[in-house]
Chains A and B, each alone.
Chain A
């Protein structure tokens, strides 16, 4: 018994060490950014109109994409959680494709459906919506690479709602639509909110797909990249730190809200 607990304590010591190294690997580069920057350059960057515009563009396009596509993602997630159909496994796999393909390739794929010759592109033109080089295109590119996060989280959330509660609601005279809005959705809400945050955060930080669809107007990741390639690390770092700070603040606030709810 003694040797067992001795082994266990050695094991947890080793795991603590390894786990700590992993954690350090995440923290160290970000902490390094903050340590390598002077307050003046940071202030200058934070007050720069170009930096502010790019961060605001990243925030609102990603939020808009998340919001718009949630009307499609949530119903799909519900179907995947509740219904059994042929090729369900393949559908689940398809959903993860945007995560596994290179994001520049994802950008090229999105570009394909929004050019003037494409159905969506020509339809957009009809209504005066331009996709390439515009916020609408950015929204699509961001949503393409980040929608799996919302679908997967919402699907897991719906799957965790006991089907029995939905059935009981039906026996109490509620219509399927009422059951969805008064039972399934409120009970899966936490997971959906999680997915919402993840999709937003992921879309906001997207670089590869967005740069192919719209180099301009510049989202924050593209602005950071442009400054890095044109002027070097010293000039790109402050913009990067400002953007990372905004992301972290939003992330912390949303996590707090989620914990409270």
Chain B
């Protein structure tokens, strides 16, 4: 669908170097990187808003590197500043439509609005929209333009948590309906919950492209490991348990109890290292998960120590204070119990 081949460019202090990646039709490709790494510049260069100095861009097999912006058929959606303030919602969505027949335009606007859930907001002024509504209008306009590839520049970062969840669901829906999405963000949760492929961006280039589980379980560089800040990231299956509000997450024969309202099936599990406690004997208390394992590593972290425990095919990392490490006499090779609550387990599916 979209093939980026060795593109390089320089704008002001920004420099992108030799960026290459492929996005297949139907992909949800998330580019993950810290703020200021050049993610937006990359998107704008794909859309043609910024000229590249080297490399090639192919869309649907066609070379578009030198193509005019208006002929690329790529939509770009920004955080919150891309609607035309002098037009109302209807006219914004209708902007890309060129037809002599008013009815044809109206039908297309209504269809795009209903797909994005803003059918009742068509008469509204842009300045009266909430953050979530704003993004929906922007997506509706891109749908009306008839483009099947959307570039999203941090589309969720200015939204409140509730709108964020709703908009994520909408993005998934659009993706399932056949829209290919390239989405840049600095938020790994967003990446995990949406992407089927993640590209990690560092120092003006893409350093690693892979499915989420590979990115987080086997970070290719120290930067990735540090930047994503993700530990205890597992891929497995969620199953409901009859007569219980808990569910079980199965990974490599290990059963972890989780408290979640996510549906069953293929999922990612995430446990913050702060949420895992270690003990010499199996703890009682409210934690539902207890696994006996062997300490394979003790490493100094920014604060305290990260203790890695192998519980059989799966490694868990716990963050402990140096006092705890000393009082438990933790050493590599020791047997130890790991304990964590079912509610400490975050599920993404």
State the CA gap A174–B98 with chains docked (Å).
Answer: 9
Q: Which of A163-216 contact B (CB under 8 A)?
A: 164-165, 167-176, 182-183, 186-187
Q: A164-B78, A164-B81, A164-B82 are in contact. Are A172 and B95 (CB under 8 A)?
A: yes
State the CA gap A123–B39 with chains docked (Å).
Answer: 57
On chain B, the residues within 8 Å of A182 by CB distance are 95
B81 lies within 8 A of A172 (CB): no
Q: How far does the Cβ of B28 sit from chain A's closest Cβ, in whole Å? A: 20
Instruction: Tell me if A162 is interfacial: C-beta within 8 Å of chain B.
Output: yes
Q: How far does the Cβ of B58 sit from chain A's closest Cβ, in whole Å? A: 18
State the CA gap A174–B49 with chains docked (Å).
Answer: 14
Q: How far does the Cβ of B203 sit from chain A's closest Cβ, in whole Å? A: 26
Q: Which of A140-165 contact B (CB under 8 A)?
A: 162, 164-165
Instruction: Tell me if B178 is interfacial: C-beta within 8 Å of chain A.
Output: no
B85 lies within 8 A of A171 (CB): no
1/0 contact string of B61-85 vs chain A (CB within 8 Å)? 0000000011111111010011011
**Chain B CB within 10 A, most for which of A171, A174, A183:** A171
Instruction: Tell me if B47 is interfacial: C-beta within 8 Å of chain A.
Output: yes
Across the interface, B141 reaches (CB within 8 A) one of A167, A170, A172, namely A172
On chain A, the residues within 8 Å of B48 by CB distance are 170-171
Across the interface, A170 reaches (CB within 8 A) one of B69, B86, B98, namely B69
A168 lies within 8 A of B76 (CB): yes
B85 lies within 8 A of A172 (CB): no
On chain A, the residues within 8 Å of B74 by CB distance are 171
B86 lies within 8 A of A169 (CB): no
Query: Which residue from chain A places its CB closest to the CB of B47 in the assembled complex?
Result: A171
Q: Which of B256-299 contact A (CB under 8 A)?
A: none
A174 lies within 8 A of B82 (CB): no
On chain B, the residues within 8 Å of A174 by CB distance are 70, 95-96
On chain A, the residues within 8 Å of B47 by CB distance are 167, 171
Q: A173-B145, A174-B96 are in contact. Are A168 and B72 (CB under 8 A)?
A: no
Query: Which residue from chain A places its CB closest to the CB of B44 in the assembled complex?
Result: A167
Q: How far does the Cβ of A209 sit from chain B's closest Cβ, in whole Å? A: 37
Q: A167-B69, A183-B84 are in contact. Are A172 and B78 (CB under 8 A)?
A: no
Query: Which residue from chain B places its CB closest to the CB of A165 in the assembled complex?
Result: B84
1/0 contact string of A102-122 vs chain B (CB within 8 Å)? 000000000000000000000
A172 lies within 8 A of B145 (CB): yes
On chain A, the residues within 8 Å of B95 by CB distance are 169, 172, 174, 182
Q: Which of B32-63 contact A (CB under 8 A)?
A: 44, 47-49
B75 lies within 8 A of A172 (CB): yes
B49 lies within 8 A of A187 (CB): no
State the CA gap A168–B98 with chains docked (Å).
Answer: 16
On chain B, the residues within 8 Å of A165 by CB distance are 81-82, 84
Q: A186-B86, A187-B86 are in contact. Are A170 and B70 (CB under 8 A)?
A: yes
State the CA gap A167–B85 with chains docked (Å).
Answer: 14
On chain A, the residues within 8 Å of B73 by CB distance are 173
A172 lies within 8 A of B96 (CB): yes
On chain B, the residues within 8 Å of A171 by CB distance are 47-49, 69-70, 72, 74-76, 145
Q: Which of B100-129 contact A (CB under 8 A)?
A: none
On chain A, the residues within 8 Å of B44 by CB distance are 167
On chain A, the residues within 8 Å of B96 by CB distance are 172-174
**Chain A CB within 10 A, most for which of B48, B70, B73:** B70
Residues of A within 8 A of B (CB): 162, 164-165, 167-176, 182-183, 186-187
Residues of B within 8 A of A (CB): 44, 47-49, 69-76, 78, 81-82, 84-86, 95-96, 98, 141-142, 145
10 A-B contact pairs sorted by A residue (CB < 8 Å): A168-B82, A171-B74, A172-B96, A172-B142, A173-B71, A173-B73, A173-B145, A174-B95, A174-B96, A175-B70
Contacts A171-B74, A172-B141 supplied; 11 other A-B pairs, CB < 8 Å: A164-B82, A165-B81, A167-B47, A167-B49, A167-B76, A170-B48, A171-B48, A171-B145, A173-B73, A173-B98, A182-B95
